[in-house]
Amino acid sequence: MELMRTIHDYAHHFGWDNSLPPAMTIEPGETIEFQTIDASGGQLSHASTVADVAALDFGKINPVNGPMYIEGAETGDSVKVTLLNFNMAGWGWTANIPGFGLLADQFLEPALHIWKFDAGSLAPAMYGPGGHVPLKPFCGTIGVAPAESGLHSIVPPREVGGNMDIRDLSAGTEIYLPVEVKGALFSVGDVHAAQGDGEVCGTAIEAPAVITARFDLIKGENLAFPRFTTQGPVTNHFDAKGYEVTTGIGPNLMEGARGAVSGMIDLLGKRFNMSAIDAYMLCSVCADLRISEIVDQPNWVVSLYFPRVVLE
């Protein structure tokens, strides 16, 4: 059996740059392990307090392992990444970081929740009195180097992938990334133990993990943006008891999203006596924003689906 190689946690970087030297060179068909650190770059731990959130150095946010050079990858090709496994560390964090998130103008103070969970069973993680969030690990940041020279922020997603925060990039998913530079220069990190679609407060359950992935090369696919294929249902960890849903309606999708999230924060506060900041962070890790209607101009509908299984 071929010995699997590992890109260790020290082989990471904090921005996209096609001049970075590769941490490893592989052939298509290889399976590689990535020992990722959490999105704080190790600044937060299971013993952290809210004071540590206020002291975060944003220059160390969202480290990714790599870059990895893939032999034969050329501009116009696609790297096919099959995500095989996420081996979690058993803890994570969710924070409200001032100035960041969908409702940053309403939540001005830092907040922090430390999660502890069984890394083997991935049983739902406790949140306050009676809350249990189902877990579904995935990589929040995954991509290849852009063609444009220089150092580019890791925070915004881009046409070659990056910080996309797509919850369904979980075990079993195959993602295809458009290659813009020779060797592709693939990197990955920012693992989340759970997240709702939208990641509304700006963080999910941010957690260290070991990712196992297989790499293949598709010649001449000429993708404009990443695409992916899932291997089964994507919401069955949340579906068991249905959903509470709030909406935002108007001519601006962003304001519609804000309205839907604000409505759910109000609902959770009234029904479960939950503080607004706790409801906001909980929505970020388990509630899904959806565009319900985008054709009946001039107003569009954005809905927020909160899984009842979390609090019932």
Do 202 and 272 lie in one domain? The reply is no
Query: Where a domain ends, among 163, 195, 229?
Result: 229
Do 16 and 97 lie in one domain? The reply is yes
Average pLDDT of the chain is 97
Q: What pTM, to 2 d.p., does this model score? A: 0.96
Do 207 and 76 lie in one domain? The reply is yes
Do 140 and 252 lie in one domain? The reply is no
Do 110 and 162 lie in one domain? The reply is yes
Do 287 and 142 lie in one domain? The reply is no
State the pLDDT confidence band at 2, using cuts at 50, 70 and 90: low
Does residue 234 form part of some domain?
A: no
Average pLDDT over residues 193-206: 98
| Domain extent for 88 | 5-229
Do 196 and 274 lie in one domain? The reply is no
Q: Which amino acid, 218? A: I
Q: HEC states along 16-65?
A: ECCCCCCCEEECCCCEEEEEECCCCCCCCCCCCCHHHHHCCCHHHCCCEE
Does residue 57 form part of some domain?
A: yes
Do 161 and 302 lie in one domain? The reply is no
Give me 206's structure tokens: 């941010």
State the pLDDT confidence band at 129, using cuts at 50, 70 and 90: confident
> In 150-268, at which residue ranges do the beta strands (DSSP E only) sit?
152-153, 161-162, 174-178, 186-192, 209-218, 227-229, 243-250
| Residue 18: per-residue pLDDT | 98
Does residue 274 form part of some domain?
A: yes
Render pLDDT for 28-53 as a digit per residue (tens, 0 to 9).
Answer: 999 999 999 999 999 999 999 999 99
Query: Where a domain ends, among 206, 229, 252?
Result: 229
| Residue 214: per-residue pLDDT | 98
Q: Indicate if the pLDDT at residue 93 is higher than 90.
A: yes
Do 36 and 140 lie in one domain? The reply is yes
Do 144 and 291 lie in one domain? The reply is no
- The CATH number covering residue 261 comes to 3.10.28.20
Q: Please, what sign has the CA dihedral across residues 65, 70, 74, 80?
A: negative
The domain tally of the chain equals: 2
Does residue 243 form part of some domain?
A: yes
- The CATH number covering residue 151 comes to 2.60.120.580
Do 304 and 181 lie in one domain? The reply is no
Q: Indicate if the pLDDT at residue 1 is higher than 90.
A: no
